[in-house]
Structure 1
């Protein structure tokens, strides 16, 4: 019985945390996909983060900015014509991790 509980518990934890366990992707890899997704935030145009920031252009100091979530949301609303994301979501955390990796 204990052998069945552990995998179920791991699955619940992964789903709750918003981690793509089944795909075996790191949060940074998921962030890269999000960065290149033109549908992020319900975008109404073909823009993605990479449309303006290809290769991390202009994001050199972004990871250190305490208001990075606000800056991302500003781009989502003004440039991508989408909607703001909650800064505490797994999607936002993954996106921020990927942006941080661009400066390393």
Structure 2
């Protein structure tokens, strides 16, 4: 491995995190999506909010993944109310969030 390859690997690991370089990246799952949905640090959010603050238990989101582009909508919320950075639409994190949305059954809206 030459010095340029080592430097490139180091830079990529720093930018994308160690999981991207370890070869053991997590797989997408609805369970992981639910954890991310409840994580106030999603997308590097700078405030204490998570998706669950506006949508507790996925309230109001049942069927959303079937009618809109869920990745686009998720990133709008991350960059808007969560004040974070959009996540890669092809990432395991995004796939997990979409799987979680797809798993939601009709949750009645409370008053």
Same fold (TM over 0.5): yes
Q: Pick one of 47, 51, 54 that aligns with 1:52.
A: 54
> Match of 2:19?
none
Cα deviation, residue 66, structure 1: 4.2
Following the alignment from structure 2 to structure 1, what is the Cα–Cα distance between the partners of residues 67 and 91?
A: 18
SS, match of residue 55 in structure 1 = helix
Output aligned runs, 1:49-88, within 5 Å: 49-88=51-90
Output aligned runs, 1:9-20, within 5 Å: 12=23, 15=24, 18-19=26-27
SS, match of residue 80 in structure 1 = coil
> Match of 1:92?
94
1:85/1:65 Cα in 2 relative to 1: closer, same or farther (>3 Å)? farther
Deviation string, structure 1 residues 43-73 (Cα, Å, up to 9, x no partner)? 0001101011112112122110341111000
Ranges in structure 2 where 5+ consecutive residues have no aligned partner: 1-22, 107-111
Normalised by the length of structure 1, the TM-score is 0.73
Normalised by the length of structure 2, the TM-score is 0.69
Following the alignment from structure 2 to structure 1, what is the Cα–Cα distance between the partners of residues 83 and 68?
A: 23
Pairwise CA RMSD = 2.0
Contact 2:63–2:104 (CA<8 Å) still a contact in 1? no
Provide runs of 4+ in structure 1 moved above 3 Å: none
